[in-house]
Amino acid sequence: MLAPLFFSLASRSFQRQIAYRAAALAGFFTNFFFGMLRAALLAALYNARPEMAGISLAGAVTFTGLTQAMIGVQSLFSWYEVMNSVYSGAVAGDLLKPMGYFRFWLAQDAGRALAQFFLRGLPMMLFYAIFFRITVPQTFGQWMAFVLSLGLAWLLCFAWRFWINLAGFWTPNALGLVRLGFILLYFFSGFLMPLRFFPDWFVQLSAFTPFPYMVNTVVEIYLGVLQGPQLLQALAQQAFWAVVMIGICQLTLSAGVRRLVILGG
C-alpha cells in the first residue's frame, strides 16, 4: 500500500545524487586512485605466489576493485543524515509522515545507493577491467547469488548506519560515537583486506559481529570462494543479521522517540 511512497522517496533521492555529477566524478577518481594503491600493495605481498588462502592475485586485485566500488554504494565511511536531522529538528516533521521512520530513510537510502551504484560502482569495475586483470563470476547462479548478497549487505549496512545515528536522540553531540561505529565497520568488515588473510582468532571474533556480512561475504561470493552449501549458509547469515539489526533499530528508535523533545519556534 505504501509502495508508491517508498518509490517516490527513493527516486527523489536518486535524482538528488545524480545532480552532483562533478562531486561524484571527483569521488570516483579518489576511490580509483586508492584502489590502485591497494592493488599494488597486494601484488607486492603476493610476490609471485599463485594464491593465498584460496584467493589468486587476480582475485585479490578484484577484491580491491569491489571494495572501492562498495564505498559509495554502501556509504561505508560516513553517513550522518539521521543524526543531523535530529539536530536540525527536521526529525519532527519526518516522524509525522504517513510512513515508519526507518522505512522513510530506507527508501531514501535505496535511491542514494542505486545512484552511487551507477555513478561510482559500475564505472569502478569497468575501470578495473581496463587497467587490471580481474575475475568475474563464472556461472549465472553465482551472478544471482552475488546480486542477492549485495542487496542483503546494503540492507544490513543501512540498518547499522541508521542505528549508530540514533545516538543523536541521546546526546547533543554524537559525532564521535557515530564515527566509532564506522571504525568498527571499517576494521571488522574485511574492507581493508580479505578476512581470510587475517589470523584465525580474528576471523572467528569478527564472525560474531554483523560486519563481515556487509562486505566480506559479498566479496567471497563474487570471487567464488564460497560455493554450494557454504554459499547458502552465508546468504542465510546475511539475512539473519539484517533481520536482527532492523529489529534492534526499531526498538532503539521507539525508545529514542519517547525521549525526544522538540522545541517549537
Partner 1 sequence: MGLYFRLISVQIRSQMQYRLQFVVDMLATMLISVASFFTIAFVMQRFGSVAGWSLGEIAFLYGMVETSFGVMDLLFSGFDPGNFGRQTRLGRFDQLLLRPASITLQVFGSEFTLRRLGRIFQGAAVFFFAISLVKPHWTLPHLLFLPFVFLSQVLFFGGLFIIGAALSFWTLEALEIVNIFTYGGTEMMAYPMHIYPSWLRNFFTYILPAIFLNYTPAIYLLNKPDPLHFPAYTPFLAPLAGFGVFFAALAFWNYGIRHYQSSGT
Q: Residue numbers of the site for partner 1 (CB under 8 A)?
A: 20, 22-23, 25-27, 29-30, 33-34, 36-37, 40-41, 43-47, 49, 52-53, 173, 175-177, 179-180, 183, 186-187, 192-193, 197-199, 202
Helix axes 140-165, 175-188, angle to 10 degrees: 150
Identify the helix (H) or strand (E) that includes residue 32: helix 21-46
**Which DSSP string do the residues of 125-174 spell out, in sequence order?**
HHHHHHHS-----SSHHHHHHHHHHHHHHHHHHHHHHHHHHGGGGT-S--
CB 219, min distance to partner 1, A: 15
Output 7 or 170, the one with its CB closest to partner 1. 170
CB 111, min distance to partner 1, A: 20
> Could you tell me if 249 and 166 are in contact, meaning their C-beta atoms sit under 8 angstroms apart?
yes
Output 168 or 242, the one with its CB closest to partner 1. 168
CB 110, min distance to partner 1, A: 24
What type of residue is 56?
S
CB 119, min distance to partner 1, A: 13
β-bridge mates for residue 55, sequence order: 52
Output 27 or 137, the one with its CB closest to partner 1. 27
Output 6 or 198, the one with its CB closest to partner 1. 198
Q: In sequence order, what are the residues at sequence separation of 6 or more whose Cβ sits closer than 8 angstroms to the Cβ of residue 132?
A: 39, 58, 61, 62, 65
Output 6 or 186, the one with its CB closest to partner 1. 186
CB 249, min distance to partner 1, A: 22
Across 76-97, b (16+ Cβ under 10 Å) vs e yields beebbbbbebbeeeebeeebee
Output 35 or 146, the one with its CB closest to partner 1. 35
- The CA–CA distances, whole Å, from 203 to 23, 26, 193, 200, 211 equal 36, 34, 12, 5, 11
- For 212, the grid coordinates are 563481515
CB 29, min distance to partner 1, A: 6
